[in-house]
Amino acid sequence: ANGMVFANLKNLKGYDFSVNDTLVLPGGAAYQVFLNTPEVLEQVKAFAQNPQKVLGAICASASIPGTLGLYQGKKYTCVPGLNGDFGGTYENVHSVIDGNLVTGISVGGAFDFAFNLIKVLKGEAEMKKVQENTCWILLKQK
């Protein structure tokens, strides 16, 4: 749809997630499906608890690791309406990195979230290179 191409889609059941470095949970209403799919929750825990892996989550889906107790003692963000008592430090900013966890507040923070994923996976120099070659507008948060 709208010129987007989806390739190499895999079935969740039986997929070997150990071959991946990163798991990213997109936002929106899909978070409810993820929250009710034990296989997804198992992978969220596995990625969050393995310092060699990266877990990214944005918007509503960024509440899922909190629901699972994975933000204990950590900094994070998620869409404010779904922030609960997750035992960590909520930051009302576009994106937060804490170790191997990268969280984004909403679609408004999508660029910062993406840049932070690149930073964690490839380093600050690569992130800056991508930023320099990306047309985006930085909106100051209040």
Q: What is the pLDDT of residue 134?
A: 84
Q: What is the pLDDT of residue 26?
A: 95
Domains by residue range for the chain, with CATH: 21-132 (3.40.50.880)
Q: What value does the mean pLDDT take over residues 109-124?
A: 95
Residue 133 scores a pLDDT above 70: yes
Question: In DSSP terms, which residues pair with 55 in a beta bridge?
Answer: 23, 101
Question: What type of residue sits at position 95?
Answer: S
Q: Kindly report, residue by residue over 41-94, the tens digit of the pLDDT.
A: 999 999 999 999 999 999 999 999 999 999 999 999 999 999 999 999 999 999
Torsions phi, psi for 45 (to 5 deg): -60, -45
For the whole model, what pTM was predicted? 0.89
Higher pLDDT, residue 12 or 55: 55
Q: What is the pLDDT of residue 53?
A: 97
* E strand or H helix at 131: helix 124-132
Question: What type of residue sits at position 49?
Answer: Q
